[in-house]
Structure 1
Amino acid sequence: MKTLALKLNLVLLTFCFSFTAIAQDFQGKAYYMSKTTMDLDQWGGEQMSPDQKKRMQERMKSFLEKEYVLTFNKTESIYKEDERLETPGTGRGWGGFGSSFTGGPKYKNVKEKELLQDQEFFGKQFLIKDELKALEWKMGTETKQIGQYTCFKATATKVVDQFDWRSMRRRQPPPPKKKDSAKSDDSAKADSDDPMSEIEVPKTVEVVAWYTPQIPVNQGPDDYWGLPGLILEVNADRTTILCTKIIMNPEEKEEIKKPYKGDEVTQSEYTEIITQKMQEMRDMYGGRRGGRGRN
């Protein structure tokens, strides 16, 4: 208990000294690497040779591994992809698909509880404007070092958006059962004609975050915020976001601008738009399959 109390006191002292040392108009930049793993065997990869798997993984690399920059001050932040030139032949197609399910710059104002995000969906620009929702963090005492910063562990349960591609997985086939009627045959055929019927997304995932009180802002990458220090690492389902570099008070400060382009919608309205569009695509796909089957 004495060790724990001493550790907490040291954290509080660090927090206080750091806070008073930082100027009123301070700004920081944190660089993150985001990596999502994908089991190719779930998507037919068990039929590929090792060389084919390797080539496929290389093609998907720019889709599954991205670099981001979080520019922040005491109350605001903007999180956007640090775009690089792609190697010819990598990421094509995957990047186009991903742009419809991964967002553009994300602005968070933790004082006003405001969230703004650019989002393009199949060629149309949207501006998602919503309330910044907090996770119910459970604070831990476990620590680890990330670079020069001492980080503390926090955990939470996060509700997953049904179109979050990072958590999409192939639905496990149900156990075989007796065919009671022709109706069940029709139902099975309808499911097989719908490519989305093979995909599922978990309703919730467990999140582990590591934050440092040495940078006393409650900001973090992507959707994550609300801890007494900058979040330097996040592990959620199959995605890890890790801070690789921090610059405090850069010589040239960058204005944190709110995104403003696109049709303004809430997150729930945007999800409804995607749902409707995906249903249209299902119907179109099913119609084509049905037409081919009749010929």
Structure 2
Amino acid sequence: MKKILVLLLLNTLVSFSQNKSGTVTYKSYPAVVNKVDSTKFDQEAYKLVSNMTKSREKLEFNLVYNTKYSKFNLIDKLETETNAGMDFAKNVFGNKEFYYDFTQRYFIRNNKGKLVKLNSTYEWNLTPESKDINGNLCYKATCDHKFMSRKGEVTRKVIAWFCPKIPVNSAPEDFNGLPGLVLELNTGMTVYVVKEIKFSDKEITINFPKGKVITEDENAKETKKNLSMFQK
């Protein structure tokens, strides 16, 4: 299976070089829906959390790529009415941008101006399981995503459905590395499902972030320090 992955990746990279640009739009919704317990909140807080949960399902994201870079970010739609729940959902679930350098093969996560270079290397397990997504034949792949939380290291199973027919080595967030565009992704927290794909023979401009970049280890130390100060 690993040999097949390597061959498919090589084929993907060759084919990808022939595609100049594209924009992929994803719908999103929670991977696990937990009912909000009204007894744990006062009336205003309960209303805010309930609205945030409903608003989260309205969030959409764009994955834009050209021959050098890709960018994944929230589509910031203008709301016709003031919605604190939507604002909260955007800040919690859509506050990060992910940039990928196809040549150097690394990700930069931009969290409101804070740039972090990610160690995004996943060991994907390809399976023969397939399904149709918007008329595209996709295959299932899984990997383990390990990350640090307040409770220590956490491992979540990630499920991706990729389409070899669309030779773009990209996915929502930083889950690249599959031989085809990922049309559906379940991170264990969020599910992304493709809504629309637009290809372009013109080079779409992507402004790769510049400035001070820190490592994930440095970011983890900063976060731990900030949490300890907050807990005092």
TM bracket (short chain): 0.7 to 0.9
Aligned AA for 1:255? T
Structure-to-structure mapping, 1:82-231, within 5 angstroms: 82-86=75-79, 87-91=81-85, 94-95=88-89, 98=92, 103-120=95-112, 125-131=113-119, 133-162=120-149, 200=151, 203-231=154-182
Q: Kindly indicate whether residue 220 of structure 2 is the aligned counterpart of residue 274 of structure 1.
A: no
**TM-score of the aligned structures, taking structure 2 as reference length:** 0.79
Q: Is the 8 A contact 2:52 2:89 kept in 1?
A: no
Higher strand share: 2
1:240 aligns with: 191
Question: How far is the alpha carbon of 1:116 from its aligned partner?
Answer: 1.4
- Bigger-Rg structure (1/2): 1
Structure 1 segments, 4+ long, off by >4 Å, are: 52-55
Question: What's the secondary structure of 1:57's corresponding residue?
Answer: helix
Mapped to 1, the partners of 2:152 and 2:190 lie a distance apart of: 14
The 1:224–1:147 alpha-carbon spacing in structure 2 relative to 1, beyond 3 Å, is same
Deviation at 1:220, TM superposition (A): 0.8
Equivalent position SS for 2:92: helix
- Contact 2:51–2:86 under 8 Å retained in 1: no
Question: Any stretches of 5+ residues in structure 2 without a counterpart?
Answer: none
1:4-19 matches, within 5 Å, as none
Letter in 1 for 2:128: T
Which of 206, 210, 224 is matched with 1:256 structurally? 206
SS of the residue corresponding to residue 160 of structure 1 reads strand
Matches of 1:226 and 1:98 in 2, distance apart?
26
**Please, what TM-score do these two structures have when normalized by structure 1?**
0.64
CA distance in 2, matches of 1:204, 1:220: 20
Q: Does 1:39 align with 2:27?
A: no
Identical residues among aligned pairs (%): 24
8 Å CA contact retained: 1:59, 1:91: yes
Correspondence 1:15-26 to 2 at 5 A = 24=18, 26=20
Structure 1 residue ranges without an equivalent (≥5): 1-7, 164-199, 284-295
Letter in 1 for 2:24: A
Which of 1 and 2 has higher RCO (CA within 8 Å, sep 6+)?
A: 2
Q: 1:160·1:204 contact (CA, 8 Å) conserved in 2?
A: yes
Which residue does the alignment assign to 1:28?
Answer: 22
Q: Check whether the contact 2:66–2:203 (CA below 8 A) recurs between aligned residues.
A: no
CA shift, 1:90, in A, is: 3.0
Aligned length: 220
Q: Is the 8 A contact 1:60 1:94 kept in 2?
A: no
Q: CA deviation at 1:142?
A: 1.1
CA displacement at 1:253 relative to structure 2: 4.0
